[in-house]
């Protein structure tokens, strides 16, 4: 099943509001508006002809502004979440994206639909800083609980120390 076919199936089932297709070089993906996420996700899992039951991963990316040579804005700053889900019965993989504005990186949690999303969303919160509403236990998972900052943001500055531990990058050995 290609992304185009899934989009048509969703539109036929009445959930096509605001759905667009990201043609993008290489892998097409559905773009779902933030408000529709839970409804679309639940339908993707429960509908008999779709049956996307194995959540593969949830990825968050910090998108910085991109301008071309003339200064025309090619991409607004923001966050992008992409969900990959497999269907065991139909041997298919669907990728759907949610775009978030830079000032408000919050989105609904799909952990009630796919329990696998629990840890993936905790990791996205930890490293990128996207908050998931309705998540049962949103706290840092990979970094220590009192770490400051979200490392996978493009403007992250590496810390010099954590509590008393020195984390500085050693300067290269001086050549004689």
Partner 1 sequence: MGLFERSLPDVHFLKLADAAIDWGRESSLWPMTFGSACCAIEMMAVGASKFDLDRFGAGAFRATPRQADLMIVAGTVNAKMALVVRRLYDQMPEPKYVMAMGACTVGGGPYWKHGYNVVKGIDKFVPVDVHVPGCPPRPEAIIEGIRFLQRKIRAKRVLTRGLDGTPDLAGVSVSPGTVGILDPTVRPAAPPPVPLAAGSKA
Partner 2 sequence: MADAMTTASSAAPARTFIVPGDPLRPPDTHVDVRTQELQINMGPQHPSTHGVLRVAIWVDGEIVTRADPDIGYLHRCAEKIGESVTNIQYVPYTDRYDYLAAMNNNLGYCLAVERIAEVEVPERAQYIRTIAVELNRIASHLMAVGTYGLDVGAFTPFFYAFREREEILRILEWICGARLTYNFIRIGGVMRDAPEGWIPDIQKFLDLFESRLDEFNDLLTHNHIFVQRTANVGVITLEDALGYGITGPMLRGSGLRYDLRREAPYLLYDRFEFDVPIGTGIKGQVGDCWDRYWVRILEMRESVRIVRQAITQMPAGEIMAKNVRHLAFKSKPGEGYLGTENPRGELGYYLISEGQPNSYRSRIRAPSFCNLSILGKLLPGTMLADAVAIIGSTDIVLGEVDR
Kindly list the residues in this chain that would bind partner 1 in the complex (CB under 8 A). 143-144, 146-147, 151, 156, 158-159, 162-170
DSSP run (H or E) holding 17: none
Coil vs helix vs strand at 98: strand
Q: Say if residues 133 and 109 touch (Cβ distance below 8 Å).
A: yes
Q: Return d(Cα 136, Cα 119) in angstroms, integer.
A: 11
Stretch that binds partner 2, among 7-15, 31-39, 91-99, 161-169 (CB under 8 A): 91-99
Nearer to partner 2, 16 or 151 (CB): 151
With binding defined as CB under 8 A, does residue 143 bind partner 2? yes
Chain-centroid distance of CA 26 in Å reads 18
Which residues are near partner 2 by CB under 8 A?
24-27, 53-57, 59, 61, 82, 84, 88, 91, 93, 95, 114-116, 118-120, 123, 127, 140-144, 151-152, 156
């Amino acid at each position: 099943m290609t992304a185009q076919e899934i989009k048509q199936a969703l539109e036929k089932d009445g959930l096509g509001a605001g759905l667009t297709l990201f043609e993008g070089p290489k892998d097409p993906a559905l773009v779902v508006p933030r408000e529709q996420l839970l409804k679309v996700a639940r339908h993707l899992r429960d509908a008999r002809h779709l049956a996307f039951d194995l959540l593969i991963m949830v990825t968050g990316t910090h998108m910085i502004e991109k301008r071309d040579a003339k200064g025309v804005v090619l991409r607004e700053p923001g966050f992008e979440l992409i969900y990959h889900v497999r269907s065991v019965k139909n041997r298919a993989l669907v990728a759907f994206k949610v775009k978030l504005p830079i000032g408000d990186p919050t989105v609904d949690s799909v952990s009630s639909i796919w329990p696998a999303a629990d840890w993936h969303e905790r990791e996205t919160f930890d490293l990128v800083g996207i908050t998931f509403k309705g998540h049962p236990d949103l706290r840092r998972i990979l970094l220590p609980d009192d770490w400051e900052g979200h490392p996978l943001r493009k403007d992250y500055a590496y810390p010099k120390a954590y509590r008393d531990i020195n984390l500085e990058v050693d300067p290269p050995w001086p050549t004689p």
